[in-house]
Amino acid sequence: MTTATEFAPGLVIQNFTAPLKLSDFKLIAFDMDSTLISIECVDEIADAVGRKAEVAAITEAAMRGEITDFKDSLRRRVALLKGVTVADMERVYTERLQINPGAAELIAACQAAGLKVLLVSGGFTYFADRVKERLNIDFARSNLLEIENGALTGQLVDQCWGDICDGAEKRRTLLEVASLLGIEPSQCIAMGDGANDLPMMGAAGLSVAYHAKPKVREQAMVAINEGGLDRLLELFA
């Protein structure tokens, strides 16, 4: 039986005892959209071609776990982005994308304690690579949009590891990076907000839901329901 406890206002823990030692962990993995950053990039890109409502409805259903085939849902959304220009995406980055509160502070604290940082996203490399650089993140994996003549084709580019970074790929990436670092999955923290984050969260030693969908909050060991990402640090001695 799951026993949930409000450790502090807006911070819920279940099935473990706090405080922990941050230095016991060696890797922290973050989802990007609506976790590290404030937006769902695919929805905001779609706004440039007047399709935000249609795309956002698919995104919401996928993140709630109502659409179980993430790959299919992403292909459907990306197809609706055909014609969006690189300039449109640049405006999304400069005008709409914001780093969520506490992200920089949490990452700095983790790195000071000896952890490596992984960004693993069902979103897009155009944004993920910039967020990686901006937050001094060690590793990143995401999806690559196909661009021809300065505009999106409505397709994704296959990469060496496969076609789409979905929930299964997030989990595989977490385990791959852990193996490269010579650490156990139990020494990993995984943070996310949507249903496609659950596979990697389930593989990690500590799973954290950040302002997440109900299904994710229910399954995570920690749920941050109020405040910034750095509230996770309250659990550590």
What is the edge-to-edge ordering of all strands in the sheet holding 151-157?
4-8, 11-14, 222-224, 206-210, 188-192, 27-30, 116-124, 139-148, 151-157
Cα gap 65→69, rounded to integer Å: 9
DSSP H helices in 66-197: 70-79, 86-91, 103-112, 125-134, 167-181
Q: Answer yes or no: are the C-beta atoms of 104 and 65 closer than 8 Å.
A: no
DSSP type of residue 80:
T
**Residue from 24, 33, 138, 193 carrying the catalytic annotation:** 33
Q: Which of 24, 31, 88, 230 is catalytic?
A: 31
H or E stretch including 123? strand 116-124
- Measuring CA to CA, how many Å separate 104 from each of 44, 47, 109, 171, 228? 23, 28, 9, 23, 10
List 159's β-bridge partners, or say none: 162
Q: Is 33 a catalytic residue?
A: yes
Cα 76 to the center of its chain, rounded Å:
20
Residue 32 to residues 61, 125, 163, Cα–Cα distance (Å): 18, 11, 18
| Whole-number Å distance between alpha carbons of 28 and 107 | 9
163 catalytically annotated: no
Catalytic residues: 31, 33
